[in-house]
Every structure is written in structure tokens, then in C-alpha cells.
Amino acid sequence: MSSSIAQTVKTVVSRYGGDATRLMDVLIDVQDELGCLSHVTTARIAHTLGVPQVDVEQTVSFYHFFAREPRGKFAVYLNDSVVAEFCGRGEVARAFEEAAGCRFGEVTADGVVGLFHTACIGMSDQEPAALVNGQVFPALTPDKARELVAGMRAGKTVEELKGGRTGDGQNAHPLVRALVHNHIRRRGVMVFDHYQPGEALRKVVAMSSGEVIGVVKAASVRGRGGAGFPTGMKWDFARRAAGDVKYVFCNADEGEPGTFKDRVILTERPQMVIEGMAIAAYAVGAQRGILYVRNEYRYLRSYLEHVLEDMRAQGLLGAAICGQSGFDFDVSLQFGAGAYVCGEESALIESAEGKRGEPRDRPPFPVEKGYLQKPTVVNNVETLCSAVQVMLKGAEWYNRLGTEKSKGTKVLCVSGDCDRPGIYEVEWGFSVNDILQEAGARDVQAVQVGGPSGSCIGPGEFGRVLAYEDLATGGSFIIIGQPRDLLKDVVLNFARFFREESCGSCVPCRALTGMAQVVLERVIAGRGTAEDVERLQSWQKIMRNNRCGLGQTALNPVVSTIRNFRPLYDARLAPGDPRFVPGFDLSAAVKDYEAAVSKG
């Protein structure tokens, strides 16, 4: 073992106090320094932390961004989401391959460029986009791809590759300097309105924790992370749960393809999110908070650290917040390493504890036994923003917004075939048609509401409204134009996504995501039968028994398109006698034998 490995591991491990629950941070930092996490390195990490090597191995092997071998001086992760494909990702990928001289999944012989696929990186309004050594390069073209590779070969740094440009708003902040754009098309009253950090918190500390929860309950704030759980109730459970220590998590994993609102909120309103965490902490009696951010947003790290530092300096975090003695709460950042399932709250907690991001069996729920088995509140970024505004402006104000059962606003992430993709903060109750019109979408074949785990609807349903009681959504709103091949360009892409992202714990999720892809490919290739389509549908019932939402919804793209776009399936079914499998070709199956004996 080289002494540099031992030295690096020692330094990094001591940075995190030798605490094995900080394994994610240790791995991320060590990989930053050494370029990859070889078996020699993981053995050293295990030894230094005093844990079995297998514990380190299983965490490393779980996450997409952890590398066992070097991934090149420049590791290019090109997004392969549906919207990226719509925007010409295929040609960009080819340009990268030609310019670099290697295929995706490989590193060039000179070790300079590595090319890799990755799932949605939260840039659907500016695709095709890639991460290069953690920096975002949005709106790529084949020319830009060639230019980037030339720059890498010419010895430029990633900063130089960005060419001194930045995006709008805080993307231009000296600690961010990202090429990313916010594209805020419509500012609502909850998140993107005027905001003064600390105002809500000062009001809160004058109230009792029970009163704070009372206001959140009266406003019937519901979770914006997808499931729509009543926030006041969640806080109340955590407040009543027995525990000397309690935690507040902000879920900024944002892995649902087509979602990018949390990225924009963290860029433009980070104080508001953290203030929301502090309010939650006050309400439940928590001392520590963890802001779990997906690895794809690591370019925001220094900026977010700075915001936290700034809030400490203003007395909005730390000891005796807002001068209230006994109200001590601080927040630290935790980055993921590339795994959609980590957005599921119990997987998020596992991951923050340094483990594989596998969802836990529930109950017990995190509000009883969460992070380190202590009561833990997990809330989405946007939920916490709503909480801040509710505390500022009151439940009555909040209840005037939205519909009967869905109060407040929703930040939508509009992407796909339209003129104005981006962020739209609207009151609940807008119809799909309203959004299509504002976004400048014409000739729309379908809309995928709520991402792959949501549903795919056709024009007949565009009058439906966005609300928990009708079309619920975590924010993703993907517009699919007429010319698209819905099954091949959209449904199959989602099927691959789920197969890739299943954590593998539950047999139905692990096996049927794979089988669904195979059957779907067969149908798309014109070799499927009506029975294949029935079979795909029938699996939905089995999938409902999976442990977490990923497996429970993984067949939604297939099932909702069978329901709403059945003719697209029927048109592709193989002709002929359904008693025989259309794909089986006897003459092809004996070719190998004929070749072997003709030589023999």
C-alpha cells in the first residue's frame, strides 16, 4: 500500500472524528483526493475507522458515484433522462465518444477523459447536461462537447472549461459560479416572494412549541416531497416521541427525474430552507439538523457552508437562537453519492448513517426511531419553505390559497417539449392546460405528471387539476410532444431507470423491474403479444407489496400508459397465432451449431 493512501485516509478520517457513521463523508473526501476507492483504500478506511471491511465495501458498492477504479482526470457524467434525450443527448454522446476516443463506461488510454451515463441530474430545463468533476455543464451541443474534450486535452482546469461564464441569480455568487440557470418563470407567494431571514424564527420563539405545531396544523400544510403527509401531524409525532436527542432532516435528494425545484430553492432561498429546519427543531425539540443534498448538487457546497456560517453569525443557528436560551440547534450538510432511492426518508437516514441507502421496514417510522434510532423529522425543501411563510403570515392567509384539500402553492418543474421550461410557483388547483399554455406547449401528446413514479396522461385529461385530491405531484411536469415515440422514448427510459435504481431488497421490485424492461422491449420490437400487455398490467398488484415507494410505483409508467394509450401498445403487437411466441426463430437458434459442424 502506498503511504499516500494511508496518509490521506488518516487525515480524512480524523477530519470526521473517526466516526464510522460519517462514512459517506469519508468516502467522498477520500475519492476526491485519490480519484477512486480501490480495495486497498477501502481496507485502509475500514482499518482506520475500526469497522469490518465489508461494511465499507457494501456502502461503496451501493452508490453510483463511488468508483473502484480511476474514472479519468475529467469524469464526464452525461445525463440520460427522457428530457435529455428529447434535447439531443444522443448526438452529444456521440460527439463526446468521437472526440475522446473511448466509449461510455470507459476511460481514455491517456487517462484524461472518462465517459459515464447518469440518471437525471436535476437540470431538465437545460438539457442535455453533464457533470464534469462535479461541475454542471448544461445545454450541451455536439460542438460544445468537442470543445470541452479539446480543452481537457489541452490541460485546462474545470474552471477554465466553464469559460468564466455563470448563470443568473445566485448561480453567479462567487462561491457558486455555476453555468446553471434558474429559469424562474412564475414567482408565487410562498417561496419566491420577498423574504427576510430570521423574521419567522423571531416570531416562533415567542410561541410555545405546541402553538407552533397548532399553526402548522391549522394551515394543513402537507409534505411537498411527493407523499403529501400532513406536516403538523409529523412534527407532533416527533415532539411526543420519547428521546433525549432529536433530529430534523431536510430532504434535498431530489432524484425524481424531471424535478429541479429544490436545486433552485437551495440556490435562491437557502436561508429560508434552513430557517424552516430551525422552526421544525423548535417545534419538536431537536438539537441537530442534517441537510441531505444529492451529490449532483455538490457544486453548491461552499455556498451552502457559507450560508450556514452566516446564519450562525446572525444568531439564527447555534446556541440560544434568537436569544432564546435553551433553543440550541445547528445544521450540517450531508451529501449523497448517487442513488434515487436515498430520497425515500428511511433510506436517506440509512445513508446519512454511512450505510447502503436501503429503505427500512416501517414501523417504526422515523418520527419514533430515525437517525441513530432517535426521533427524526424528515421534510422536503419546499415543505420547510411553506412552514416559514405559514409562521410569518398565519394559517388563515395560507388557507386562502389553493383548493379545498390542497392549501398553499406548489413549485412545478416544467420540462420537455415547450418554449419556456423552468420553475413555476402556482397555487394548487391550476389545471394541466393552464400550465401547458403558460409554458408555451403545442401539439402535446402526453404529460408525465409527478415524474416516472407519477402518471402519464393524455389530452383527454388535461382539464384535470394539480392537487392532492386530483393529480398529486412532487413537482415534475414533463411535456411530451406529438412526434415522440411514447413507448420507446419515454416508457422504456423510465423502465430502465427503475431497474437501475431498485435497491434490490424486495424480490418483486428487483425481479419485475427487470422483467418489465424485457417485456417492454419485446413489445416495442413488434414481437409482443396481447398477453404480454396483460401480464405487465397484472404485475402492478404484486408490486404494491414492495417495501418502499420505489417498487410500489415502478410500474406506473407502464401501467398508466397501457391505461391511457392502449392503442400505442396494440399497434405494435405481433401478428399471427398467439399460441406461438413470435420472437422465437428456429433457424437463428441453430446457426451456431451449423457453423460449428461445418468447420468440424
Partner 1 sequence: MTAKAPRARKIVATTSLAGCFGCHMSLLDIDERILDLIELVEFNKSPIDDIKTFTKECDIGLIEGGCCNDENVHVLTEFRRHCKTLVAFGECALMGGLPALRNFLPLKECLEEAYLNGPTVAGENPGRIIPHDPDIPKILNRVYPCHEVVKIDYFLPGCPPSADLIWDALVALVTGKELEPQYRTFKFD
Ligand X SMILES: Cc1cc2nc3c(=O)[nH]c(=O)nc-3n(C[C@H](O)[C@H](O)[C@H](O)COP(=O)(O)O)c2cc1C
Is 584 near partner 1 (CB under 8 A)? Answer: yes
Question: What is the rounded CA–CA span in Å between residue 272 and residue 381?
Answer: 9
Which entry of ligand X, ligand SF4, partner 1, none binds 400, CB below 5 to 8 A by partner kind? none
Q: According to CB under 8 A, which residues from 149 to 168 bind partner 1?
A: none
Of 129-137, 218-226, 485-493, 588-596, the window that binds partner 1 (rule: CB under 8 A) is: 588-596
Which of 153, 510, 527, 535 is in the footprint of ligand SF4 by CB under 6 A?
510
Task: Please check whether residue 291 is in contact with residue 297, taking contact to mean a CB–CB distance below 8 angstroms.
Answer: no
Backbone angles phi, psi at 164, to 5 degrees: 75, 5
Task: Write down the least CB distance from residue 95 to ligand SF4, Å.
Answer: 34
Enumerate residues 6+ apart whose C-beta is below 8 A from 122: 254, 259, 260, 262, 263, 294, 296, 297
Q: Provide the H-helix boundaries in 19-174.
A: 23-34, 39-49, 53-62, 82-86, 89-100, 142-153, 158-162
Which of 154, 571, 575, 593 binds partner 1 (CB under 8 A)? It is 593
Measured CA to CA, the distance from residue 94 to residue 273 in angstroms comes to 40
Q: Are 232 and 399 in contact (CB under 8 A)?
A: no
Nearest alpha carbon to residue 515 among 63, 459, 523: 523
Mapped onto helix, strand or coil, the DSSP state of residue 491 is helix
Q: How far is the CB of 360 from ligand SF4 (least distance, A)?
A: 9
| 600 belongs to the binding site for partner 1 (CB under 8 A) | yes
Closest C-alpha to 478, from 464, 494, 467, 463: 494
For partner 1, which is the closer residue by CB, 143 or 594? 594
Q: Which does 504 bind (CB under 5 to 8 A by kind): ligand X, partner 1, ligand SF4, none?
A: ligand SF4
549 binds ligand X, rule: CB under 6 A: yes
Cis status of the peptide bond prior to 375, with omega within 30 of 0: no
**Window 374-393: residues binding ligand X (CB under 6 A):** 378-380, 383
Smallest distance, partner 1 to C-beta of residue 525, A = 15
Binding mask 336-375 for ligand X (x = CB under 6 A): ----xx-xxx------------------------------
DSSP-derived 3-state class of residue 431: strand
CA 237/CA 46 separation, integer angstroms: 37
Q: How far is the CB of 436 from ligand X (least distance, A)?
A: 25
Size of the site for ligand SF4 (CB under 6 A): 14
Q: Which stretch binds ligand SF4 (CB under 6 A): 150-158, 202-210, 365-373, 506-514?
A: 506-514
Question: In this structure, are residues 110 and 147 in contact, taking their beta carbons and an 8 Å threshold?
Answer: no
- One symbol per residue from 298 to 337: x for binding ligand X (CB under 6 A), - otherwise; what is it? ----------------------------------------
* Cis amide bond preceding 359, omega within 30: no
Asked whether the beta carbons of 454 and 46 are under 8 A apart, the reply is no
Q: Which does 584 bind (CB under 5 to 8 A by kind): ligand X, ligand SF4, partner 1, none?
A: partner 1
Which residues are within 8 A (CB) of 534 and not within 5 positions of it... i.e. 6 or more apart?
A: none
Which residue is associated with the grid cell 419567522? Answer: 200
β pairing state of 455-457 and 444-449: antiparallel
Which residues inside 512-571 make contact with ligand SF4, applying CB under 6 A? Answer: 546-548, 550-551
Residue 575 CB neighbours (<10 A): 7
Fill in the per-residue mask, 460 to 499: x = in contact with ligand SF4 (CB under 6 A), - = not in contact. Answer: ----------------------------------------
Cβ-based nearer residue to partner 1, 463 or 578: 578
From the list 70-78, 108-116, 152-160, 589-597, the region that binds partner 1 by CB under 8 A is: 589-597
Answer with the entry of partner 1, ligand X, ligand SF4, none that 571 interacts with (C-beta below 5 to 8 A by kind).
none
Is the CB of residue 260 less than 8 Å from the CB of residue 249? no
Q: Which of 307, 478, 506, 574 binds ligand SF4 (CB under 6 A)?
A: 506
Residue type, 204: V
Long-range CB contacts for residues 114-117, cutoff 8 Å, separation at least 24 = 114/70, 114/71, 114/72, 114/74, 114/75, 114/76, 115/76, 115/78, 116/71, 116/75, 116/76, 116/77, 116/78, 117/77, 117/78, 117/80
502 binds, among ligand SF4, partner 1, ligand X, none (CB under 5 to 8 A by kind): ligand SF4
Residue 510 contact among ligand SF4, ligand X, partner 1, none, beta carbon within 5 to 8 Å by kind: ligand SF4
* Per-residue CA distances from 253 to 121, 198, 249, 507, 516 (Å): 10, 25, 11, 25, 26
Site for ligand SF4 in 343-382 (CB under 6 A): 359
Residue 253's binding partner out of ligand X, partner 1, ligand SF4, none, with CB under 5 to 8 Å set by partner kind: ligand X
Tell whether residue 237 is a contact of ligand X (CB under 6 A).
Answer: no
Site string for ligand SF4, 306-345 (x = CB under 6 A): -----------------------------------x----
Residue closest to ligand SF4 (Cβ)? 551
Q: In this structure, are residues 482 and 444 in contact, taking their beta carbons and an 8 Å threshold?
A: yes
Interface ranges with partner 1 (CB under 8 A): 529, 531, 578-581, 583-584, 586, 588-597, 600
Q: What is the contact surface with ligand X in residues (CB under 6 A)?
A: 223-227, 229, 251, 253-256, 340-341, 343-345, 378-380, 383, 548-550
Residues of this chain that interact with ligand SF4 (CB under 6 A) are 341, 359, 502-506, 509-510, 546-548, 550-551
